[in-house]
Structure 1
Amino acid sequence: MSLEQGNIVEGVVTGITSFGAFVELPGGRTGLVHISEVAEVYVKDINDFLKVNDKVKVKIISVDPKGKIGLSLKQANPSTNNRAPRKARFEPSFEDKLAKFMKESDERLSDLKRQTESKRGGRGGFRY
C-alpha cells in the first residue's frame, strides 16, 4: 500500500515524546502523530493514551517533499478517541479525594497537638 495523503494505515508506536508519538508504517517508514492529533479531548500527556509497541490505525494527513509524514489518530478513529485517557478512568472522584485530604489533615493536626502539648508539659504532667 502506498503512503498517500488521506490513506488510513496500521502502524506500531515506536517512540513517544512530549510533542507527539512516532509510528512505524508499512514499508518501514516512520511518521509523527502530533499531540494535537492524538484525541478529540485535551491531551496533556501522550502516555495517558499511547505506549510504545501499541498497534494503531492512523490517517496520513500530510507527506512533505523532504519525506516527513504527518499522521492523525483522531481522524482515523473519530468515535473511539472521544473517551477519557487510560489513567483518568481510574482516578478517584472529587469526593474521594476530599475525604482523603480531610482524614490526612485531621491526622496531621492531632500529631501537631500532641507534639506541642508534650513540649509545654501537657495535661496532668508532673509540675513543681
Structure 2
Amino acid sequence: MSIEAGSKLQGKVTGITHFGAFVELPGGSTGLVHISEVADHYVKDINELLKVGDEVTVKVVNVEKDGKVGLSIRKAVDRPEREETARPQRARSFQRSGNGSHRGGNKPRATISFEDKMNRFLKDSEERLTTIKRQTESKRGGRGAKRG
C-alpha cells in the first residue's frame, strides 16, 4: 500500500519514547507521531495519552525520501470549519493614571494609532528605567560613591 501525505490511516502504537510514538501502518511500514502532534493541548508525558498496542487514527503529514513517515493524531480528528472571526475587543483600556483609578463605563473611545501606542510605551518605559536606576544608585550609596 502506498502511503501519501494527507491520507488518514489506522495504525497500532508499537513504541513510545520521550519525543513521540511509533505507529505501525498498514503494509508493515512504521511512522512517528511527534509528541507535539498527539493532542491539541500541551503534552508533558506521552504515556498519559498512549500505550503500546493502542489502535489510533493518524494523518500522514509527510513522507521523506529516505522513507521516514511523519504522522499526526491531532490532525486526523475532523473538526468543523471555523469561520474567520475578528479578535474579540478588550473590555477596557490599560492606561495608567496617577491615582490608581481606571476609566469607568463602557464609553466608546477613539482608536489610538500604533505610533501613539509606541510613543506612550517608550515614555512609560523610560520613566520606569529612570526610577529603577535612581533606586539602585541610592542603595549603592549614590552618585560617585566609592565601592569598597
TM range (shorter): 0.5 to 0.7
For 1:69-80, list aligned pairs within 5 A.
69-78=69-78
In structure 2, the residue matched to 1:29 is: 29
Normalized per residue, the structure richer in helix is 1
Percent identity, please. Answer: 63
In 2, Cα distance between equivalents of 1:44 and 1:31 = 21
CA positional deviation for 1:2: 2.2
Question: What is the root-mean-square deviation of aligned Cα atoms in Å?
Answer: 1.0
TM-score norm. by structure 1 comes to 0.60
- CA 1:78–1:19: 2 relative to 1, 3 Å: farther
In 2, Cα distance between equivalents of 1:49 and 1:73 = 11
In 1, Cα distance between equivalents of 2:47 and 2:3 = 26
In 1, Cα distance between equivalents of 2:24 and 2:7 = 15
Q: Which has the higher contact order (CA 8 A, sep 6+)?
A: 1
Where 1:75 maps in the other structure, the secondary structure is: helix
4+ residue runs over 6 A deviation: none
In 1, Cα distance between equivalents of 2:13 and 2:24 = 6
Aligned residues: 79
One-letter amino acid of the structure 1 residue matched with residue 37 of structure 2 = E
State which structure, 1 or 2, has the greater radius of gyration over its C-alpha atoms: 2
In structure 2, the residue matched to 1:40 is: 40
One-letter amino acid of the structure 2 residue matched with residue 35 of structure 1 = I
- CA 1:23–1:48: 2 relative to 1, 3 Å: same
What are the ranges of 5 or more consecutive residues in structure 2 without an aligned counterpart?
A: 80-148
In structure 2, the residue matched to 1:49 is: 49
Where 2:36 maps in the other structure, the secondary structure is: helix
In 1, Cα distance between equivalents of 2:77 and 2:52 = 19
One-letter amino acid of the structure 2 residue matched with residue 17 of structure 1 = T
CA positional deviation for 1:77: 1.5
CA positional deviation for 1:58: 0.1
In 2, Cα distance between equivalents of 1:34 and 1:69 = 11
In 2, Cα distance between equivalents of 1:78 and 1:43 = 20
In structure 2, the residue matched to 1:12 is: 12
Q: 1:24-50: per-residue Cα shift (whole Å, max 9, x none)? A: 000000000000000001000000110
1:65 aligns with 2:65: yes
TM-score norm. by structure 2 comes to 0.52
